[in-house]
Amino acid sequence: MSYAYLFKYIIIGDTGVGKSCLLLQFTDKRFQPVHDLTIGVEFGARMINIDGKQIKLQIWDTAGQESFRSITRSYYRGAAGALLVYDITRRDTFNHLTTWLEDARQHSSSNMVIMLIGNKSDLEARRDVKKEEGEAFAREHGLIFMETSAKTAANVEEAFINTAKEIYQKIQEGVFDINNEANGIKLGPQHNTVNPAQPSGDRGQQGGQGCC
Amino acid sequence: MSFFSRVLGGNTPENQQSGADTIAKICDRVQSSTLLDDRRDAVRALKALSKKYRLEVGTQAMDILVNVLETDRSDAEITGYALDTLFNLLSAYIEEDEQNEDLPNGDVRDPEELKLCVQFAEIFIKNPNNIPLVLGLLEDYEFRVRWPAIKLLTTLLSYQASQVQQYVLGSPMGVSKMMDLLSDNREVIRNDGLLLLIQLTKGNANIQKIVAFENAFERLLEIMSEEGGSDGGIVVEDCLLLLINLLKKNSSNQSFFKEGGLILRITPFFNIQKDSSWSAQKVNNVHLMLQVVRILVAPSNPQQATGACQKVIHQCGLLKFLCDVLMASGVPADILTETINTVSEVIRGCRVNQDFFAAVSAPSNPPRPAIVVLLMSMVNEKQPFLLRCAVLYCFQCFLYKNEIGQEQIIATLLPATADVSAVTAGQLLCGGLFSTDPLSNWCASVALAHALKDNPTQKEQLLRVQLATGLGNPPVSLLQQCTNLMAQPSVKFQTRLGLLILLSSWVAHSQLAVSHFLGHPGNVPFLTSQVAEDADEQEVLVQGLCAFLLGICTQFNDNSNKNFTKESLQQIIAKRIGVETFIEKLEAVSKHESYTQAAKKPQLKFDSIDKVLFDYEFTALFKVLEISVIKAIQVGDDSDAKKTVDDHNSIVTQYKDIIRDQDTHLGELKISNEELTREYRKSQSLLVEQSSQIQQLRDQYVLLKAQHGNQTGQGDGAESNEGQTLETTGSSEGSAEHKKQLATLEQSLEDKEKELEELRGRLASTQSADNVDSSAAQNDDSEVTSLKTRLEQQIELAEKYRLQNEEVTSQLQQAGSGNDNSALLAEKAAMSTKMTDLEVRLSKLETDNARLSNENKELSGAKDTMETQLREASAKAANPEIAIALQRVQQERDELTQEVKRLEVEKEGLEGDVKGVRQEMDDLLVLLTETDEKKTIYKQKLEDLNQEVSDNELEVEEGEEEDDDDEDYEGEEEDGQA
């Protein structure tokens, strides 16, 4: 359970682009073809490893429907990373990216890492948005880009892990203030020396990992 | 007027009038004054009047106050006054400073005034700008603004939670602003912020999740730690209330709580010191903490989530702490009861936790298992009622999906294993079963039913139990004793229900138990008479359960008892009771209030002792069997029902057979698949091994080649090979060996060449000698001819050798072509080039031989001329000089002849060599064929495994075989020389 860092992610994007499926594939390694509409926000978590460091990802999967937009906005501030997802078989979901991005930029901390994801890459026959278009959009707005398939699990791990790598790199560069939890980053228990009231058992393994 | 006077208490109408006037004036001042100081004073005045003249201030000043909040926001003081005034208008609670009122502090105002408050709140909320406005004021760090804003929002939420919640959700960072209050270093703000969040999170999952997202769990646990944990004050209780709000019925937050490692963080709260005092606050705190744990492992949660939490609760030591509380002394009864309930749900259906619980022992002397100690409380009339119910719940959870636990409990009742000296669960249950306390009877019956649930083995085991009823009387089985007890007129209603629950659970799904039950002739008539009688309301339940038991006896009847076969029971029911009546009685059970209450959830929850009638597990059994029992007792539909049931059974059996067949088939396939996989792995590893061996051998070969290069002077290559071949193994060994032999062959050919050259030299010298003296030419001629024939023979041999060489080369090439292994191929190629080299050498040798024969021809021509010269010379005269010369020539000829002889011997040796080489070639060929064969076999094996075949698995050659060949070769050589 011990981890060096904890990152908070949110997954955003239009309804039906496969946000919940991406999360399910990442946390449970399974695909559920029929998924209920997400109501509000659902939570998922997984541990990953970057540069030999255990990093805990806490992921909030938001509802894509317009009616939940104001709820979704409450999650931007505390997130270190966002996966902005569109569906490569539905151009409208791609066209809405600008709105999503504006929302995200407006409500999040300026350092939030945004990964643009073109999901459903397994449905090549029904493709409506070219990969190049996604790449161009990402380049233009300074995002990382990937095409994934929650169904075949292609690039799903990479999408979550590459985002974490980017955040980790920003930490190394000192961009993030890791002591401000509003950034969506938390030091692991072994770093946490501030609170004396914490139970001391089961903690304090491998201390002395410098903050930056 | 009467309304006003009631509202305003003892004020006279004049006072009211002046009050209303004053308020109107003040309002006017607030609106019209240009100086901030004036406005501020006016709002302060409004605040002062707001409690006494709620109606007037509310109706006249509400909008003005809101306006002040908007326009004069920069001034903390006036904003604070405005907020205070609004709060006073809306708050239904009596504040501490309201000294003039007789009502005690904290009480709600009278209904009329409360109604007014509600109305004002409604008006305030109706304006969509107001809530966001107050939310905005929360951001103001100024205490005079922030604090009343918190209180105002809390009050508003208490009236119209859902509407305010929607506003909060709709305004950006609304929840975040409230969460920030928990980080305020002013305790008042933090504590009132807690109260605000408690109101805010009530019944709104979205807000609960956002609050959790904003690190509420961590923050709350920090505050609780700071405030002293379970020994802390009201703030800890508030934190716990908020925690419960966030977790209850919110699986996302529960998962977040678990994933965040927070179960570990709450564990220390349960580390309650022995003999610690239990203040009312502490009781509240611990009670709420237990609620938090129970929310995480509630039986109504998804099994997966509950299971995961149960695991963590055990791993982080929380379960141990809970068990410590369970066994500690001086714990208040309600805490103990709730702890038992909590432990129950933590262990329910989780084997590891159940096993842990089974091993817990009480600190008594001698130490007893916790289960036994708890059961003692259950069957003890003096213990609190709720505690006894909790123990039964704990027992139920302990045995839920726990066959081993069931077996252990039943084992304490069995004659063979029962330990007489110690108090056991079985003894306690039996004691409870036959005690005079109806609740003990009921609890013990239901507890025993849990020990038998879904466990046919234990149902049959328990049939063995015999009870001694008194001196001289024969022992009676436990099953019969239960029935007998039920028939006694003095027995209480609750006891009878308990016993019927036990009997129904016991004999259901067990034909053996049914036949035991029917074995006593009095049982069926007793049940029939019970059902047939008219009865009061309570008796309806007993009748229903008696009918149920009868039905079970019919349904699970194996017809072993001739008096009570399935059919005879059906007839008895039809004749004595009537099918309609039977069904009616049965249905009365599920319609009963206690039944529906018990069926709601596993935990036993009863308002009073006399409501204890059913338990959850029995209602589940009843639900399942009700329909099938009704079907089983129908006489009219007997044949049909039986038929359909039989059909059904046969179909089920058929499918079962099919499934079984498929299962075995699947098992076989699995096994064979495993075998194949294993073989495949083995083959693969072998392949890898072999390829590595080939690599090794190639290295060795290079090494050997180098060594061989050093050994060029050595004549007998075979001997030196002997030592080396022992070291070399594998498929390339033959090749290496072959190559070495070829090298040797080359060597000997070179020797031969040299000898031939020598011979040529000698022939040349002979020629010159012949030039000098031609008298010996005649002899010479014949010798030359023989030499020629020898040479020709040699050429022939060389040709043969060449052919064989070619053959071997082609064989090698063939072997090489079938071999995918590049290393081996390369070696073969190298070898074939060697062969070609050899061929070239042979052809050179041939040409040499041809040249030699040419020379010989020339020589013979020269001899002819010499002959003629000699003839001429002899014709001329016998010249002494010539005679001498002739003699010399003859001598020389003799020498030459000797030389030729020696050459002959050497040639023979050479021939032997060639033979040997041929022999070796043959051996090599045999080896190659063998290798090929083995390869083919291997290939076949792999093909059987559906495996792509790489042809590099040539079988390992034995060094000894090579040695034998070498020896043969040597022996032959010797023979040839001899």
pLDDT band at A209 (very low <50, low <70, confident <90, very high): very low
Chain A nearest C-alpha distance from B172 (Å): 7
Q: Which residues does chain B have within 8 Å of residue A107's beta carbon, measured at their own beta carbons?
A: 172-173
Test mutation, B177, B179, B206, chain A, max A CBs within 10 A:
B206
Averaged pLDDT, A160-171: 94
**Mean pLDDT lowest among A12-21, B12-21, B134-143, B312-321:** B12-21
Q: Domain of residue A12: give its range.
A: 5-187
Find all residues with CB under 8 Å of A73, minimum gap 6, and list them: A103, A107, B172, B173
Whether A66 is covered by a domain: the verdict is: yes
Contact A107 B264 (CB under 8 A): no
Tokens of A203: 């903690």
Q: Which of B465, B367, B468 is nearest to B423 (CA)?
A: B367
- What's the DSSP call for residue B59? H
Test mutation, B259, B265, B318, chain A, max A CBs within 10 A:
B259
Contact B261 A39 (CB under 8 A): no
For residues B971 and B549, which has the higher predicted lDDT (pLDDT)? Answer: B549
The burial class, CB within 10 Å (0-12 / 13-18 / 19+), for B855 is middle
The burial class, CB within 10 Å (0-12 / 13-18 / 19+), for B648 is exposed
Torsional class of B961: left (φ above 0), alpha (ψ -120 to 50), beta (otherwise): alpha
CB A116 within 8 A of CB A135: no
Q: Which residues does chain A have within 8 Å of residue B220's beta carbon, measured at their own beta carbons?
A: none
Tell me: pLDDT of A129 over 90. Answer: yes
- Which residues sit opposite A47 in a β-bridge? A56
Which residues of B sit within 8 Å Cβ distance of A? 169-170, 172-176, 205-206, 209-210, 213-215, 222, 225-226, 252-253, 255-256, 259-261, 264-265, 267-268, 316
pLDDT computed for residue B16 by the predictor: 61
Tell me: pLDDT of A146 over 60. Answer: yes
Count of Cβ atoms closer than 10 Å to residue B203 Cβ? 12
Q: Which residues does chain A have within 8 Å of residue B225's beta carbon, measured at their own beta carbons?
A: 195, 197-198
CB B777 within 8 A of CB B866: yes
Whether A201 is covered by a domain: the verdict is: no
Q: Which of B836, B264, B365, B938 is nearest to A198 (CA)?
A: B264
B279-316 pLDDT, tens digit per residue, is: 999 999 999 999 999 999 999 999 989 999 999 999 99
**Mean pLDDT lowest among B136-140, B466-470, B776-780:** B776-780
pLDDT computed for residue B650 by the predictor: 76
For residues B731 and B409, which has the higher predicted lDDT (pLDDT)? Answer: B409
Fold of B399-636: Leucine-rich Repeat Variant (1.25.10)
Domain count, chain A: 1
Show me where the domains of chain B are located.
399-636, 660-699
Distance from C-alpha of B328 to C-alpha of A153, rounded to nearest angstrom: 52
Q: How distant, in Å, are the alpha carbons of B502, B639, B642, B644, B645 from that of B631?
A: 23, 12, 9, 11, 10
Facing residue for B256 by CB, picked from A1, A40, A43: A43
pLDDT computed for residue B322 by the predictor: 94
Distance from C-alpha of B489 to C-alpha of B235, rounded to nearest angstrom: 57
Facing residue for A195 by CB, picked from B176, B206, B222: B222
pLDDT computed for residue A207 by the predictor: 39
pLDDT computed for residue B882 by the predictor: 59
B895-948 pLDDT, tens digit per residue, is: 888 887 888 887 787 777 777 777 877 777 888 888 778 778 777 777 777 655
Q: Which of B845, B969, B955, B849 is nearest to B916 (CA)?
A: B969
Please report, in angstroms and rounded to a whole number, the separation of the first and last CA atoms in chain A.
22
Give CA B125 to chain center in angstroms. Answer: 52
Tell me: pLDDT of B719 over 50. Answer: no
3-state helix, strand, coil in chain B (%, to 5): 75, 0, 20
Q: Which residues does chain A have within 8 Å of residue B174's beta carbon, measured at their own beta carbons?
A: 74
- Which residues sit opposite B361 in a β-bridge? B369
Test mutation, A2, A74, A106, chain B, max B CBs within 10 A:
A74
pLDDT band at A192 (very low <50, low <70, confident <90, very high): very low
Amino acid at B390: A
Averaged pLDDT, B552-561: 88
Facing residue for B170 by CB, picked from A70, A77, A78: A70
Contact A58 B225 (CB under 8 A): no
Contact A40 B206 (CB under 8 A): yes
Averaged pLDDT, A153-159: 94
- The ipTM estimated for the assembled molecules is 0.84
**Minimum Cα–Cα distance from A27: chain B residue:** B259
Please report, in angstroms and rounded to a whole number, the separation of the first and last CA atoms in chain B.
155
Chain B nearest C-alpha distance from A44 (Å): 7
Distance from C-alpha of B210 to C-alpha of B198, rounded to nearest angstrom: 14
Q: Helix B13-32 to helix B54-71 angle, to the nearest 10 degrees?
A: 10
Averaged pLDDT, B91-102: 59
Tell me: pLDDT of B494 over 50. Answer: yes
Averaged pLDDT, B74-87: 91
Paired sense of beta strands A53-62 and A5-13, if any: parallel
pLDDT computed for residue A157 by the predictor: 94
Averaged pLDDT, B524-529: 89
Q: Helix B537-555 to helix B579-591 angle, to the nearest 10 degrees?
A: 120
Q: Which residues does chain A have within 8 Å of residue B205's beta carbon, measured at their own beta carbons?
A: 39-40
Chain A nearest C-alpha distance from B134 (Å): 18
Which residues of A sit within 8 Å Cβ distance of B? 1, 8, 39-45, 58, 60, 70-71, 73-75, 77-78, 107, 181, 189, 195, 197-199, 202
Torsional class of A3: left (φ above 0), alpha (ψ -120 to 50), beta (otherwise): beta
pLDDT computed for residue B778 by the predictor: 58
Q: Domain holding A155: CATH number?
A: 3.40.50.300
SS (H, E, C) B873-936: HHHHCCCHHHHHHHHHHHHHHHHHHHHHHHHHHHHHHHHHHHHHHHHHHHHHHHHHHHHHHHHH
The burial class, CB within 10 Å (0-12 / 13-18 / 19+), for B107 is exposed
Backbone dihedral angles phi then psi of residue A74, each to the nearest 5 degrees: -70, -15
Listing DSSP states for A120-144 in one string gives -TT-GGG--S-HHHHHHHHHHHT-E
CA contacts within 13 A on the Cβ side of B405: 30
B677-718 pLDDT, tens digit per residue, is: 999 999 889 998 888 888 888 888 888 888 776 665 554 444
3-state helix, strand, coil in chain A (%, to 5): 35, 25, 45
Averaged pLDDT, A20-46: 89
pLDDT band at B769 (very low <50, low <70, confident <90, very high): low
**Mean pLDDT lowest among A124-128, B102-106, B212-216, B273-277:** B102-106
CB B271 within 8 A of CB B321: yes
B798-848 pLDDT, tens digit per residue, is: 777 777 767 766 665 665 455 455 555 666 677 777 777 777 777 777 777
- What's the DSSP call for residue A68? G
Percent of chain B scoring above 70 in pLDDT:
81
Residue B302, preceding peptide bond in cis (omega within 30° of 0) = no
pLDDT computed for residue B821 by the predictor: 55
Distance from C-alpha of B228 to C-alpha of B379, rounded to nearest angstrom: 38
CB B156 within 8 A of CB B125: yes
- Which residues sit opposite B93 in a β-bridge? B108
Tokens of B202: 């009530």
Distance from C-alpha of B112 to C-alpha of B128, rounded to nearest angstrom: 27
Tell me: pLDDT of B27 over 60. Answer: yes
pLDDT computed for residue A142 by the predictor: 92
Give the CA radius of gyration of chain A.
17
pLDDT computed for residue A205 by the predictor: 41
Instruction: Give chain A's mean pLDDT.
Output: 86
- What's the DSSP call for residue B366? S
CB B168 within 8 A of CB B130: no
Tell me: pLDDT of B99 over 80. Answer: no
Instruction: Give chain B's mean pLDDT.
Output: 81
Averaged pLDDT, A153-168: 94
**Minimum Cα–Cα distance from A59: chain B residue:** B256
Averaged pLDDT, B619-623: 92
pLDDT band at A174 (very low <50, low <70, confident <90, very high): confident
B834-871 pLDDT, tens digit per residue, is: 777 777 777 777 777 777 777 777 777 766 776 677 66
pLDDT computed for residue B274 by the predictor: 73
**Mean pLDDT lowest among A154-163, B17-26, B367-376:** B17-26
Whether A198 is covered by a domain: the verdict is: no
What three-state secondary structure class fits A83?
Answer: strand
pLDDT computed for residue B781 by the predictor: 62
Q: Which of B272, B316, B325 is nearest to B296 (CA)?
A: B316
Contact A40 B255 (CB under 8 A): no
Distance from C-alpha of B819 to C-alpha of B814, rounded to nearest angstrom: 9
